[in-house]
Chains A and B, each alone.
Chain A
Amino acid sequence: MNIFKDLAMLPMLIVIFSLLIVSTVVTFFLSKNVRSQKRKILVTNLQERIRAWWVMIAVFLIATATGGLTSLMLFAVCSFVALREFITLTPTSRADHRCLTWVFFVILPLNYFLLAIHWYGLFVIFIPVYAFLWIPVTSALSGDSKDFLSRTANIQWGLMICVYFVSYAPAILGLMIPSYGAHSARLLCFLVFVVQISDVMQYVFGKLFGRHKIAPLVSPNKTIEGFIGGVIFAALLGASFWWMTPFSPWQAGCMALIIALAGFGGGIVMSAIKRDRGVKDYGNLIPGHGGMMDRIDSLCFAAPLFYHLTRYFFAH
């Protein structure tokens, strides 16, 4: 299905590209009239972020438009890069090398392969059950028991967050929803759009009105004002896009609210991990944003919730 030919997608595309164009123009004029050094850094960072948004949106839309398999590949690559960042940050020992070889080259590809062949039943338990059992065995066989529990937990967590949770986003493409037809790509766009707009709006509201920090030690940039503004904005926008989903307006609003709240949870949890490891970003893959994990942290938590709620209430 081609989302560019899908009329129901048109308003969302118009909103996305209007936002991009307006923000590009606004930051361009801002950059011409900055006085203080502090402002200048902020505006330059904003410009970097927006430029990266153009690229990310283009890549995502092209992948979604060219079909399910391409989307799956895109998310598999995201998982790979995110897991790489996660493992780089976590202290693993030499004894984990064999286990990590399994994780990167067998478990990750298999997880996405199960989605490609629509084997839903195995996909949902593959990492939580089979990988969970297999990982500590390979680590134990290597014979090093120092910090065994925390090492295994680190790898298992990384696998759950970076691979299992992320793969719920493309899994949406396989949902069979009665009277909705083969339009599941719209739902994927809905999820990604709401998650990211909520992130962006929390940032914008936070910068404009932010006074009270939510958890200054965990995530210094998150404020109560930003959180409330961003979440409400995302919920309302989600509700207004109800006609591209199988939901009614208020259902779409509730879904968007849950997506935004879960996304916030993901952001703050992944921040806590960063602070614990003493870094500011997961990497510097995406200019202005940080690493892959910095961009998809909220999606990680929102995707499984959205998938299961949709499946439970709307799919067969």
Chain B
Amino acid sequence: MLNAICSFIKLFTGAQARWLGEECPVEGVTPLQSSPSSADSNLFLTDNARPRIYYANHTSHADCMVLLSVLPRHIRKMVRPAAAEDYWMATPLRRWFALRILNIIPIARSQLTKANNPIQRLVVALDEGSSIIIFPQGGRQDDGEVGEFKCGLYHLCRRRPEIELVPTYIDNANRVLPKGSHIPIPVVCSVTFGAPIRLLDGESKEDFLKRAQNAVARCAA
């Protein structure tokens, strides 16, 4: 079902992926085998079958679907978007779509307790072997620029510092479905994946978030 929806979105928006930091992941080929000569260049050390965090700029409700639609199928299968619990659990239809089709990780935005701690839920998903799509800006940015990142990404990385973060820039999704509109129109989208980054030892919260944000902005160029 998700694959069918994603194929339709790809046809409709003509969305395409660019992989800057590594080659487009191919199922069954671990990058180490595919290019042994550059094994030490750390570019190819990435094993995309391992859980990773895809973090992206957020401008539109279409972002998540566009991103999912350009991911190779075997990766799409293991990816779970982090999404607002209050929005997606509000009606039975949304709930069904969020849980059955997208398999989101529900993120509580108010009345945080120990039980619904968003970071804890993300960590559990990573530990279960899922990859995560996350929009660290929180809200949607109107103008298509990369907005300030919130600190959730940092706290998540503190818990699992070995996890790779793939900076992702989604272009034109805000023209497909701008904030406040309900009918998507066909505008060609592109999704750019940069070279994965990690939280460095002793890196401060501000430095890390700035570096992560710049990595996304660089993908936009």
Contact = CB atoms under 8 A, between A and B. Distances in A.
Interface of A: 80-81, 84-85, 87-88, 92, 94, 97-98, 100-101, 104-105, 283-285
Contacts of B186: 80, 84, 87, 104
12 contacts: A80-B186, A84-B186, A87-B187, A88-B172, A88-B175, A88-B187, A94-B142, A94-B178, A97-B175, A105-B183, A284-B16, A285-B14
A314 to B, nearest CB: 37
Contacts of B181: 97-98
A97 B185 contact: yes
A98 to B, nearest CB: 8
B35 to A, nearest CB: 22
A87 B184 CA distance: 14
A293 to B, nearest CB: 11
Q: Which of B181, B183, B185 has the most CB of A within 10 A?
A: B185
Where chain A touches its partner, the secondary structure class is helix
Contact of A283 (B172, B174, B183, B188): B188
A128 to B, nearest CB: 22
Contacts of B14: 81, 84, 283, 285
Given A283-B14, A285-B14, A84 B187 contact: yes
Nearest to B186: A84
B175 A92 contact: yes
Interface of B: 14, 16, 142, 172, 174-175, 178-179, 181, 183, 185-188
A262 B55 CA distance: 49
B85 to A, nearest CB: 28
B188 A88 contact: yes
Contacts of A80: 186
Contact of B178 (A81, A97, A283): A97
A104 B179 CA distance: 19
B58 to A, nearest CB: 16
Contacts of B174: 94
A85 B188 contact: yes
A81 B188 CA distance: 9
A84 B175 contact: no
A206 B137 CA distance: 51
Contacts of A100: 185
Contacts of A101: 183, 185
Q: Which of B174, B179, B186 has the most CB of A within 10 A?
A: B186
A110 B178 CA distance: 25
A285 B14 CA distance: 8
A105 B186 CA distance: 10
Contacts of B175: 88, 92, 97
Contacts of A285: 14
Contact of B185 (A104, A283, A284): A104
Contacts of A284: 16
Contacts of B172: 88
Contacts of A283: 14, 188
Nearest to A89: B188
Given A87-B186, A88-B175, A94-B174, 19 more contacts: A80-B186, A84-B14, A84-B186, A84-B187, A84-B188, A85-B188, A87-B185, A88-B172, A94-B142, A94-B178, A97-B175, A97-B178, A100-B185, A101-B183, A101-B185, A104-B186, A105-B183, A283-B188, A284-B16
Contacts of A104: 185-186
B7 to A, nearest CB: 16
Contacts of B183: 101, 105
Contacts of B178: 94, 97
Nearest to B185: A100
Contacts of A81: 14
Q: Which of A88, A92, A104 has the most CB of B within 10 A?
A: A88
Nearest to B183: A101
Q: Which of B142, B175, B179, B181 has the most CB of A within 10 A?
A: B175
B179 to A, nearest CB: 8
